[in-house]
């Protein structure tokens, strides 16, 4: 599939035009974005995922102005006892559990992988939803089975109702409204207030793209520095006079602290390495499943070159300059391995048969032993094991 065909769901826009006109700027409704769309997971499959301890799921119910939120996993008996309407099940990271869901997410590769959050699915009964709210991330809302009514607003008032388990807007004033049917898609940039309500049973797929806040970046970078700095000295005060005000912080101690803190330096390389580690860190609930009997290195190389390899659904592989970042760890790209490694990071798989140098296959083997990647024929079986 060509890149143009791969991104044909953007309607009359190519990927570059969409990014220039709409990304982080204004909403876009695309009717029939995915003609004859088939849900990667059917309604029953979504509910079964909600019963799994490996999946992160939530149940939202409402009756009038009263809302409740419960976290999974849920039992199938519990789900069958729910009322006929006004509830929704949300399951995060469906791309970790379904190869077809992962392939759908990969269609959005005109946006950097470092920005990817996940592919979430919402199964809702008639009237189900999570209330009017705003998100701090970009999202494509792709309608699967059934219909959902969306209302949006660019209002500045984003105050929330108090005393609720969800961040529901206190004063939602919709400006536009549409009913989305299977294959229709709505893009929303951050900060656009929106509400989706199911009209009958439906599935909605949310392709979300994160953007770390400055607060998160600063906090994570300072933590990173703390782990890597090792200042050699400590405060001393030989010959200090007797304290006249023992409750006062000594001026000399304040000055020492100032000198130590202002001596901290970091380089562009430090920031590049931090950014790669931070952005490739997998989600906290992801658990990798290493092979119980890994094949020997030589056999792995031969099979990988013939069959190909694929990243585990929970893995995040990025590159920047001469560095690669796999699941929060940095590695310098071995000599001659750059082209294969960049292709692997871009496409999350390498189709076989393929050629790559020994340094790349050695690195791939180390990741295979940790469960970060799989031989291509085993990749589908890896879905759902975390």
What is the 8-class DSSP label of residue 53? T
Residue 238 lies in a domain: no
Single out the residue of 271, 282, 300, 303 nearest to residue 362, CA to CA. 300
311: domain CATH number?
Answer: 3.40.366.30
Q: Give the C-alpha separation, 96 to 44, whole Å.
A: 17
Task: Give the pLDDT confidence score for residue 231 in this predicted structure.
Answer: 84
Residue 221 lies in a domain: no
- For 35-50, what is the mean pLDDT? 97
Total domain count for the chain?
2
Task: Give the pLDDT confidence score for residue 3 in this predicted structure.
Answer: 73
Residue 212's Cβ-count burial label (10 Å; 0-12, 13-18, 19+) is middle
Do both 53 and 202 map to the same domain?
A: yes
- For 59-71, what is the mean pLDDT? 96
What is the 8-class DSSP label of residue 159? P
Q: Give the C-alpha separation, 219 to 275, whole Å.
A: 12
**Which of the listed residues 209, 242, 261 is the one where a domain comes to its end?**
209
Residue 383 pLDDT grade (very low, low, confident, very high; cuts 50, 70, 90): low
- For 335-357, what is the mean pLDDT? 95
Single out the residue of 102, 120, 110 nearest to residue 196, CA to CA. 120
Residue 105 lies in a domain: yes
User: Looking at the chain, which runs of residues are DSSP E strands?
Assistant: 28-30, 57-63, 66-71, 87-91, 116-124, 138-143, 148-153, 176-180, 185-188, 193-198, 202-209, 308-311, 317-320, 323-326, 329-332, 349-351, 373-375
**Which of the listed residues 154, 186, 209 is the one where a domain comes to its end?**
209
Single out the residue of 302, 314, 305, 298 nearest to residue 370, CA to CA. 314
Do both 91 and 187 map to the same domain?
A: yes
Q: Give the C-alpha separation, 117 to 207, whole Å.
A: 8
Residue 8 lies in a domain: yes
Q: Give the C-alpha separation, 191 to 183, whole Å.
A: 24
12: domain CATH number?
Answer: 2.60.120.650
List CB contacts of 141: < 8 A, sequence separation 6 or more: 150, 180, 185, 186, 187, 188, 196, 204, 205, 206
Task: Give the pLDDT confidence score for residue 6 in this predicted structure.
Answer: 81
**Which of the listed residues 178, 209, 240 is the one where a domain comes to its end?**
209
Task: Give the pLDDT confidence score for residue 229 in this predicted structure.
Answer: 86
Q: In angstroms, what CA-CA distances link 74 with 79, 82, 127, 172, 256?
A: 7, 11, 21, 31, 56
- Which tokens sit at 147? 């219909």
Asked if residues 114 and 318 have their Cβ atoms less than 8 Å apart, the reply is: yes
Residue 380 pLDDT grade (very low, low, confident, very high; cuts 50, 70, 90): low
Residue 94 lies in a domain: yes
Task: Give the pLDDT confidence score for residue 336 in this predicted structure.
Answer: 95
Task: Give the pLDDT confidence score for residue 386 in this predicted structure.
Answer: 42
Q: Which long-range contacts (CB under 8 A, 24 or more apart) does 46-49 make?
A: 46/89, 46/91, 46/94, 46/121, 46/123, 46/203, 47/76, 47/79, 47/89, 47/123, 48/76, 49/91, 49/94, 49/97
Do both 202 and 308 map to the same domain?
A: no
Q: What is the pLDDT of residues 209-231, one digit of tens each?
A: 998 999 999 999 999 998 888 88
List CB contacts of 345: < 8 A, sequence separation 6 or more: 113, 317, 318, 319, 324
Do both 75 and 197 map to the same domain?
A: yes
Q: Which domain holds residue 127?
A: 3-209
Task: Give the pLDDT confidence score for residue 2 in this predicted structure.
Answer: 72
Q: What is the pLDDT of residues 189-210, one digit of tens each?
A: 999 999 999 999 999 999 999 9
How crowded is the C-beta side of 260, counted as CA atoms within 13 Å? 14
Task: Give the pLDDT confidence score for residue 5 in this predicted structure.
Answer: 76
Residue 220 lies in a domain: no
Specify which residues 325 forms β-bridges with. Answer: 318, 330
Residue 141 lies in a domain: yes
Residue 285 lies in a domain: no
Q: Give the C-alpha separation, 11 to 186, whole Å.
A: 12
Task: Give the pLDDT confidence score for residue 385 in this predicted structure.
Answer: 42
- pLDDT > 90: percent of the chain: 89
């Amino acid at each position: 599939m060509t890149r143009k065909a791969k991104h044909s769901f953007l309607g009359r826009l190519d990927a570059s035009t969409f990014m220039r006109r709409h990304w982080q700027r204004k909403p876009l409704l695309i009717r029939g974005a995915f003609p004859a769309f088939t849900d990667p997971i059917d309604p029953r499959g979504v509910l079964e995922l909600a019963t799994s301890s490996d999946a992160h799921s939530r149940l939202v119910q409402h009756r009038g102005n009263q809302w409740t939120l419960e976290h999974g996993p849920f039992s199938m008996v519990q789900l069958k006892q729910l009322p006929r309407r006004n509830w929704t099940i949300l399951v995060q990271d469906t791309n970790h559990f379904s190869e077809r869901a992962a392939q759908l997410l990969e269609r959005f590769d005109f946006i950097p992988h470092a920005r990817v959050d996940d592919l979430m699915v919402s199964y809702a009964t008639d009237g189900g939803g999570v209330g009017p709210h705003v998100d701090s991330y970009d999202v494509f809302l792709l309608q699967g089975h059934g219909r959902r009514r969306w209302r949006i607003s660019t209002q500045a008032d984003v105050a929330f109702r108090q005393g609720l388990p969800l961040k529901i807007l206190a004063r939602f004033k919709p400006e536009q409204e549409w009913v989305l049917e299977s294959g229709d898609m709505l893009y929303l940039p951050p900060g656009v207030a929106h509400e989706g309500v199911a009209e009958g049973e439906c599935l909605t797929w949310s392709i979300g793209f994160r953007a770390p806040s400055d607060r998160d970046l600063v906090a994570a970078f300072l933590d990173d520095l703390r782990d890597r700095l090792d200042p050699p000295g400590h405060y001393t005060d030989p010959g200090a006079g007797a304290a006249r005000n023992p409750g006062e912080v000594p001026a000399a101690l304040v000055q020492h602290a100032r000198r130590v803190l202002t001596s901290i330096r970091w380089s562009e390389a430090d920031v590049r390495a931090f950014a790669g580690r931070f952005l490739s860190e997998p989600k906290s609930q992801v658990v990798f499943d290493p092979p119980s009997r890994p094949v020997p290195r030589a056999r792995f190389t031969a099979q990988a070159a013939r069959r190909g390899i694929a990243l585990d659904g929970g893995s995040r592989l990025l590159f920047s300059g001469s560095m690669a970042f796999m699941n929060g760890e940095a590695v310098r790209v071995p000599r001659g391995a750059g082209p294969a490694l960049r292709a692997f990071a871009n496409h999350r798989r390498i189709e076989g048969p393929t050629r790559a140098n020994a340094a790349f296959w050695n690195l791939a083997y180390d990741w295979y032993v940790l469960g970060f990647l799989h031989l291509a024929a085993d990749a589908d079986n890896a879905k759902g094991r975390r």
